[in-house]
A and B are shown apart, each in its own frame.
Chain A
Amino acid sequence: MVAKHSSNSIPFDSAPFDPDDARLSAYAMREFGSDELTSEEMAAVEALLARDPKALEFVQGLRETMRQLDRAFAAAEADGLSEAQRAAILAQASASAPTSSAPAKSRNAWSRRMRIALAAAIVVATVGGTLLVSQPWRDGAGLFFEVATSEGHAGQVPSLASKSSPEGRTVGLRALGYSDGQHSGSARDSLRELGYVFNLVQVDRPESGTEQYDSISEHAFRRTLDEARSTFSIDVDTASYANVRRHLRDGKLPSAGAVRIEELVNYFDYAYPQPTGSAPFSVTTDVLACPWDANRQLVRIGLKGREVHANERKDSHLVFLIDVSGSMSSEDKLPLVQRALRMLTEQLDVRDRVSIVVYAGNEGLVLEPTSGRERGAILEAIERLQSGGSTNGGAGIQLAYKVARQNFIEGGVNRVILCSDGDFNVGVTSRDELVKLVETERKSGVFLSVLGFGTGNLKDSQMEQLADKGNGAYAYIDSLAEARKVLVEQMSGTLETLAKDVKIQIEFNPAKVQAWRQIGYENRALEHQDFADDTKDAGEIGAGHTVTALYEIVPVGAPFEGLQVDGLRYQTPREPMPSDMAPSAFGDEWMFVKLRYKAPDGDVSRLFEHPVSGAPQAWTDAPLDARFAASVAAFGMKLRGSEHVSALSFAQIRQMATEALGRDERGWRVEFLDLVRRADELSH
């Protein structure tokens, strides 16, 4: 087999695959924060992987074994020293050594929370195993109660959404403890007895604990004559990919609502050119054959934010807002947050300031704004974090914003970074209220990023929405490797916003495009009139970020069944008529891309326009990057059960991606192949 990009200067390049070559382990180990190879060795291994699928498979296998080891060691880690042993050491260290309390040992967050809730609240009624454990309270969104169901459902904490009652009064039920139909029903009865009206939103027992995902309905094909425009907001989140990966590694197929295709596609970097003009990003478009339907084509639109080198980074003030409630105690939550922050701290310098706000039952500032130069002090504050208690996300966020505003750096990066499993379970926690708060604060110039942690309780949809409204990205951190990607390798992109409210509007040319469909971005769709409306919020692009959007189009003349709709009574059915068509000068154009964006501190948007023309590229001639992106999109659609890709199997998707692997410095793309294989196995 011949290498796609053979660089013939390195002798190793032509050497056959040797399973005893220790460099293969060292290469695979980079995911675990290890940096053992010279750049030449790295290039040699990459060349080998690109040309020999056996070697690729082998390295993937090693990486998997490393993950298993990593997990095994984490799971088997023993308790620390006894109190007496610690005391002896600290006494030895200094007579005046401050004795700090031992790390929280409670692994049973639920029973703690339950006890706290029960102790603090007034039992109003007891009906059929359901306790109302608080008096109703009112906030902006309506009335709230806390309800605990019987112990049997320990650990399951859904929030039941509230709905307006006929009198226009909103009454909500927040259940502590999983509410099955029967228990919710009795809770409702007891509330009614008390004279409150409320509508219960039934929550089915979710498959994976109480993780919450919004449902997504896939974009359908539209005929260009019915609808020539597509308008949406960009999205640089990547959380969905990490979350899908976690599901697959745990041996489960993710639920359809957890798969946001644009976040899968945008997880990867693509080699779009650096911007050259005054715009903070470049725009690249391709038209290529659609790998899952010979009668269609794919259009790829790629944005690339200007790279900002570490030494050009702006001054920053980062306020970490960390959830330290009992639910954060497991190994993949607070301890991982701490490891991630330690890694980030290593990157900071004199230009940076860091503050840490924690919240649980109460909120508190545990690190005053501290210069990045004082690494020791920051690290110490990180070490001291410990979990316990219930969660009041609302108050924590308010404090974090206050700290950020009081220490605002003009012209710099001012950002609150929320680290949580999203379980805002006490106090002012209606989703709408939080969103409103974040929107208000955004206007003060303080942006919000969200890092999601942990499993079983993840409020995915809420986390995404908060970051979206806060002009920030939402990343899901499932491993130290992911923390490294988000906080170290892509640090400037995560922190430094180049342009905000980036909106895209596309107009399709009916002379060339019969019908079209956007892939993904379902929850980013905008009204057409919002495109030019500068008061409407949209997504941000950070330094070095790439954003990719894909469309599936049916060219004029290709067979297309489309959706059959009954005819109209008052209008004559329209067929494409010459008068509908654009002048022939535009005859070669597939579509016209318009982009609006604002400077990070600007209020007025700028417009950027770009026609897309040219003959479509055959699949095998298309850029590897475009083919890889299409493979990732196909994977997402397949996971969602989309009928558009029913002709493709996971194995074929894996094949497509393997052939299009291209440059993969950090092993992310190889890892993708592993995920497709897992999905394939799980779907049989």
Chain B
Amino acid sequence: MHEPTWIHSALERHERALIAFAARIVGDLETAREVVQETFLKLCAARREEVEPKLVEWLFTTCRNAALDQRRRLGARGQRMEAHEMEEHPDPSSALSALETKDESARVLKLLARLPQKQREVLQLRFGGGLSYKQIASVTGDTVGNVGWLMHAGLKTLRERLSGGALQGRS
């Protein structure tokens, strides 16, 4: 196999999850697409044998860094987004929700947006991106144990809120 095919299949496999991930950082879909394009352009320049064994980690880490850069650059706008998320209409996902049909999904995403940023991020990487705890740890720079804890705390809070706080344990 030669190189272009490799890039092509990485693109096919990960572009959507990356765009969704970036969109939650930068707040809009168009900027997210630019960030992801930038990520793949960097991939083209990278050395295949170095990147490929850890392709998923590499893509999400690069994309995350680019997205965080972008948000810093867009400063005010990013903050506005954050402020929004604390309120009733959080939703960077509303920009993503063209295909979204189910009320349940909308509600889940809304509640997700209200979680602390770190918990939200690990859940997105796990369920949106399909990354393992270890891969997530290498993307966010946390320890694996910490990723497990963030994941559990986020899931537990989500569960309580989804079932109206009726679950066992303190809410």
Contacts and interface: CB of A to CB of B under 8 A. Distances in A.
A81 B36 contact: yes
B33 A97 contact: no
B152 A20 contact: yes
Contacts of A24: 152
Nearest to A251: B104
Contacts of A384: 12
B88 to A, nearest CB: 18
A601 interface: no
Q: Chain A CB within 10 Å — which of B126, B127, B156 has the most? A: B127
Interface string B24-58: 00000100111011001100110000000000000
A85 B37 contact: yes
Contacts of B20: 73, 76-78
Contacts of B106: 72
Interface residues of A, number: 56
A594 B19 CA distance: 60
Contact of A92 (B32, B41, B98, B148): B41
B7 to A, nearest CB: 4
B41 A69 contact: no
A26 B108 contact: no
Nearest to A88: B37
Contacts of B4: 90, 93-94, 96-98
Nearest to A342: B13
A58 B104 contact: no
Contacts of B127: 32, 66, 69-70, 73
Interface string B107-148: 011001000000000011011101011000000000001001
Contact of A61 (B126, B149, B163): B163
B162 A65 contact: yes
B108 A72 contact: yes
Contacts of B1: 376-377, 380
Band of interface residues on B: 35 or more
Given A66-B155, A81-B33, A88-B37, A76 B104 contact: no
B81 to A, nearest CB: 16
Contacts of A76: 20, 93, 96-97, 99-100, 105, 109
Contacts of A89: 7, 11, 37, 40-41, 44
A259 B8 CA distance: 44
Contacts of B145: 22
Which secondary structure characterizes the binding site on chain A?
helix
Contacts, number: 166
Interface string B54-67: 00000000000000
Interface string A56-88: 011001101110111111011111111001101
A353 B167 CA distance: 49
Contacts of B167: 58, 61
A81 B43 CA distance: 15
A36 interface: yes
B33 to A, nearest CB: 6
Contacts of B102: 71, 75
B19 A33 contact: no
A20 B155 CA distance: 11
Contacts of A23: 148
Contacts of A81: 11, 15, 19, 33, 36-37
Chain B CB within 10 Å, residue with most, of A71, A76, A86: A76
A403 B123 CA distance: 43
Nearest to B131: A34
Contacts of A380: 1, 5, 9
A19 B159 CA distance: 12
A199 interface: no
Contacts of A72: 104-106, 108-109, 112
Contacts of B68: none
Interface in B61-104: 93, 96-102, 104
Contact of B3 (A35, A85, A94): A94
B8 A93 contact: yes
B18 to A, nearest CB: 9
A25 interface: yes
A54 interface: yes
B169 A25 contact: no
Contacts of A82: 33
A68 B37 contact: no
30 contacts: A20-B153, A20-B169, A22-B151, A25-B151, A25-B156, A26-B151, A36-B132, A54-B168, A57-B168, A58-B169, A66-B127, A69-B112, A69-B123, A71-B105, A73-B124, A76-B20, A76-B96, A76-B100, A76-B109, A77-B20, A77-B96, A89-B40, A89-B41, A90-B7, A90-B8, A90-B11, A94-B4, A100-B8, A383-B13, A384-B12
Interface of B: 1-5, 7-9, 11-13, 15-17, 19-20, 23, 29, 32-34, 36-37, 40-41, 44-45, 93, 96-102, 104-106, 108-109, 112, 123-124, 126-128, 130, 132-133, 145, 148-149, 151-153, 155-156, 158-159, 162-163, 167-169
Query: Which 9 A-B pairs rank lowest in CB-CB distance, beginning with the nearest?
Result: A97-B4, A19-B169, A22-B152, A72-B105, A72-B108, A94-B4, A25-B152, A93-B7, A73-B128
